[in-house]
Structure 1
Amino acid sequence: MPRLDPFFAEWSARRPGQRRSLDRADALLRELGLDRPRVPVVGVVGSKGKGTTATYASAALSAAAIGNVLVTGPSFRSYRERVRHDGTSVTEEELAGLASELDRGRLSLPPVEEFGGYLAPSGMFLMAGLLHARNTGARVCVLEAGMGGHRDELRLIGPEVVAMGKVFGEHLGVLGDTVPEIAREKAGVAGVHTQSLVSLPQTSEVEDAIGDALAEATGDAVRAETVDPDTQDAWPPPDLRPPGLSAASGVLGVAAADRMLGLLGEDRAPDGLLTRVLESVRLPARLSRHPVPGHAGEVIVDSAINGEGVAAALAHARAVWGGVDHVLLCLPDHKDVAGAEEALAGLRVTAVRLPEAHLRFDHALPDHWSRIDADAVTPGAVAALGDRVLALGTVYFTGRVLEAVEAPTDTLFGRG
């Protein structure tokens, strides 16, 4: 197992009230020689669907023979999944090498106390992606932001292309007190190097907030462009998009790749080749379907976190199977537990608790729901619930389910 201390060391040692330091992250970027020049970057932000958007952007670039490094988070079964080359996870040796490079740079910086904050793991993985691109000669990086905003390391990196997913109230009270405030904050990853921002359709208030932030960040040189999946010429066509609510994110990802190809002076891959690559995309925990080892049943896994997502996942499972025998649901209190409960009315449900100390599971649940701890989610336990089990909830949980059923997660797409 590769040594992961450099990614988590300062976060693990943080003091109460201490926050991530972008000044320290900026110093590390410069120490590593990643401030400039570096490969062009597609930066992905939004409230939901960032991983899907980033994956489809990476796939479309790979189809056009543009070697690229993809950074997403969090991981499902291995931290290697957070850094990929043309859709495939780095090896343990590659991740260990990246960790060593980061560690040498980190240890050469002044002490954490001089910056008043720590290096955050998500930012360290973004830098690992840039290092891997430099080491392998990749031409583009596709980087998924954390929450996004001016406090995100992606802002320091300065993406040439920004892909803005749908913005809703996922981070109310954290990134802003209203959805437009959240949108404005997320658009803050744009900067002087940004040449394009493509966005899924938003409310007029959110569009205005994004436009204002982009104008401020680029000196009014860039205008946001809306990519509407419902238009007739939107690509990819519906049969090549991911299922459920992720469909629009697939369209946004291809559009972002198109804008990057334009900046590079390259053409989109021929439709036949691009079709083959997009047909091969497999997104773990996004309505992904898996056999249960040693048993006849199947599980569909989806990282739905609100009532709308739960309802969409349920509709998908019913379309695939004709019905659902049981639902495993893991939503901490800060997610839309009430919305999920409404969407699952009348179904057999087991609520799952995670051990992470920062997550609360005190929301009152229906008396007829069962309750278990996450450690009890084993292949045998899943099979005992029926042949058609739907596992829904936070990524921390869906990753555990994927591990339990030994789901393949290292390769997201083929090369056509």
Structure 2
Amino acid sequence: MEVLLARLDNPELATPTIHVAGSKGKGSSSAMIASVLVAAGLRTGLFTSPHLHRMTERIMVDMEEISPDRFSALIEQLWPSVEAVEERGNVGKVSVFEMLTAMAFVQVRSVGADAQVIEVGLGGRLDATNLVVPDVSVITPISLDHTAVLGDTVPKIAFEKAGIIKPGIPVVVGNQAPAARRVIERAARERGSQVTYAHDHMALKQGPEHAVTSGGARVQRVTLQSPSADYKLELPLLGPHQIDNAVTAVTALEMFAARRRLAIDPASIARGISEVRWPARGEVLTSPDEAVQVIVDGAHNSSSAAALVSTLESLFPHAGSAVLVYAGSGGHDFSATAREFSRLEPHVIVTRTRHPKAVAAETVADALRRDNIPVAVVTPDVESAMREARLVASPGDVIIATGSLFVAAEVREILLSITPEIYTDMRGEMMPSYETLALTSLSPTPGTPEIPGMRGNPTARPDPDALRDAP
């Protein structure tokens, strides 16, 4: 990755940067930060992963995803450098995620952005994004996730996340377990970096108050107070954990503004927070007056599932029964995640998404049953699972689709009539690691629909499903 970026004249260093890592909340926090920067009049790039429906979602400028034509042009622009790196023979092959990261850096530089918000893909220390030199680093809450790659304890995972801390660069830290705090503080001390705990810096002065806007949107209203300002916020992202993410985001914005000598006033922060959109994170897809509510969320570990349960209890305190549409994804403990929903006593429908990392529905169902989690129905796909959920749900009930971002994405596509990128050559239950998957080592199945931007050379074109699998 370092060699590739050097060939591209180091685009990662061209733009003032906020770098965001963490186990949960890093995507939401990144989106809030970028939305506020845009509201403050700054041209802003945002790089996140994974995507829900289209690859182009990963690279945004001013909160708008790039076009398929621009995505294609970036691949054409970078491809000679990719081939040159691989021809060296001594630095390995360029992975899909490395290519996407480089594309984001080049795109942000090409538009002359004033700022970029870069979300870590996996971990931090060894992540492809970790060649930036940020103005502020951010570490959102750390919990057990991707344990096969990052380690099987919170301190081990925190060590990887703390790898984004750079010498002399301040780091804003969200709520953390004591074990994670110790690791982060040691890393910061060794590198001479100031640690600011967002919840020590910023207080919840008022709220939360749940409300429905005149347009029918659900929001949380809160007032945050820092040493320098009060912020009256209307947050469209739902749940207590999103208030925590807002505290982290606003703290990072204050620090970034101070280091860059920018004027980001409370009105801009309020406007940016109110305008943020981050789908499939505690997202209610039905209007408040519908008899059965549907909420989708990408919860894929026990901590994020617990946050979703708290969100459900705050949003629907008088709801009837819960219907859980659940799908597991490889590399995650889907039984531990499902256990968090047990206090809702849900009617559980286990299914499988079309994603190549999806685990067979029967495998997931068997694991849940072994863990004494009752499973009512097993379906072969998400569409049939939603049909079943609609049949069993009564007025006042809530349908919850979760277990991974991929099941949340498919339910969004069904209910919102979204046409996704779909490819016919999905391969197996587990795809190779995104960090080792090389672009030029892959070839597509003949007749596979071409993703926008993929080269036509069958020996050099990245596999579309491998791209969808990148984190």
Q: 1:264 aligns with which of 241, 245, 260?
A: 260
TM-score (norm 1): 0.81
Q: 1:142 aligns with which of 110, 117, 137?
A: 117
| Other-structure match for 1:279 | 274
| Other-structure match for 1:210 | 184
The one-letter code matched in structure 2 to 1:41 is T
Distance, in Å, in 2 between the alignment partners of 1:282 and 1:26 is 32
Give yes or no for the alignment of 1:27 onto 2:3. Answer: yes
Distance, in Å, in 2 between the alignment partners of 1:105 and 1:178 is 38
Give yes or no for the alignment of 1:327 onto 2:324. Answer: yes
Deviation readout 1:230-256 (Å, 9 max, x if unpaired): 554257557537322232112212222
Shift of 1:312: 3.9
Retained in 1: the 8 A contact 2:324–2:399? yes
Q: Structure 1 355/113 Cα, relative in aligned 2: closer, same or farther at 3 Å?
A: farther
Secondary structure of the structure 2 residue equivalent to 1:100 = helix
Shift of 1:36: 6.7
Deviation readout 1:183-214 (Å, 9 max, x if unpaired): 1221112334x622100132333222112223
Deviation readout 1:43-68 (Å, 9 max, x if unpaired): 11011111001001101211221111
Q: 1:390 aligns with which of 400, 411, 426?
A: 400
Q: Structure 1 254/111 Cα, relative in aligned 2: closer, same or farther at 3 Å?
A: same
Q: Structure 1 144/69 Cα, relative in aligned 2: closer, same or farther at 3 Å?
A: same
Q: Structure 1 237/369 Cα, relative in aligned 2: closer, same or farther at 3 Å?
A: farther
Q: 1:74 aligns with which of 50, 53, 65?
A: 50
Distance, in Å, in 1 between the alignment partners of 2:368 and 2:386 is 28
| Other-structure match for 2:423 | none
Secondary structure of the structure 1 residue equivalent to 2:326 = strand
Shift of 1:133: 1.2
TM-score (norm 2): 0.72
| Other-structure match for 1:310 | 305
Higher mean C-alpha displacement, 381-390 vs 253-262: 381-390
Shift of 1:355: 4.8
Q: 1:246 aligns with which of 242, 246, 249?
A: 242
The one-letter code matched in structure 2 to 1:283 is W
Distance, in Å, in 2 between the alignment partners of 1:135 and 1:211 is 36
Q: What is the number of equivalent residue pairs in this alignment?
A: 378
Shift of 1:70: 0.4
Q: Structure 1 308/149 Cα, relative in aligned 2: closer, same or farther at 3 Å?
A: closer
Give yes or no for the alignment of 1:348 onto 2:343. Answer: no
Higher mean C-alpha displacement, 102-111 vs 228-237: 228-237
Distance, in Å, in 2 between the alignment partners of 1:79 and 1:166 is 26
Retained in 1: the 8 A contact 2:19–2:120? yes
Shift of 1:368: 4.0
The one-letter code matched in structure 2 to 1:331 is G
Q: Structure 1 342/32 Cα, relative in aligned 2: closer, same or farther at 3 Å?
A: closer
Structure 2: which 5+ residue stretches go unaligned? Answer: 206-224, 421-471
Give yes or no for the alignment of 1:60 onto 2:55. Answer: no
| Other-structure match for 1:171 | 146
Shift of 1:358: 4.5
Q: Structure 1 357/273 Cα, relative in aligned 2: closer, same or farther at 3 Å?
A: closer
Q: Structure 1 326/203 Cα, relative in aligned 2: closer, same or farther at 3 Å?
A: closer
Distance, in Å, in 1 between the alignment partners of 2:118 and 2:392 is 38
Q: Structure 1 378/33 Cα, relative in aligned 2: closer, same or farther at 3 Å?
A: farther
Distance, in Å, in 2 between the alignment partners of 1:376 and 1:241 is 27
Deviation readout 1:148-187 (Å, 9 max, x if unpaired): 2321112222323111001122233522343122212211
* Percent of aligned pairs with the same amino acid: 23
Q: 2:62 aligns with which of 79, 86, 94?
A: 86
Q: What is the RMSD of the two structures over their aligned residues, measured on CA atoms? A: 2.9
The one-letter code matched in structure 1 to 2:323 is H
Give yes or no for the alignment of 1:189 onto 2:161. Answer: no
Secondary structure of the structure 1 residue equivalent to 2:416 = coil
Q: Structure 1 118/291 Cα, relative in aligned 2: closer, same or farther at 3 Å?
A: farther
Shift of 1:371: 1.2
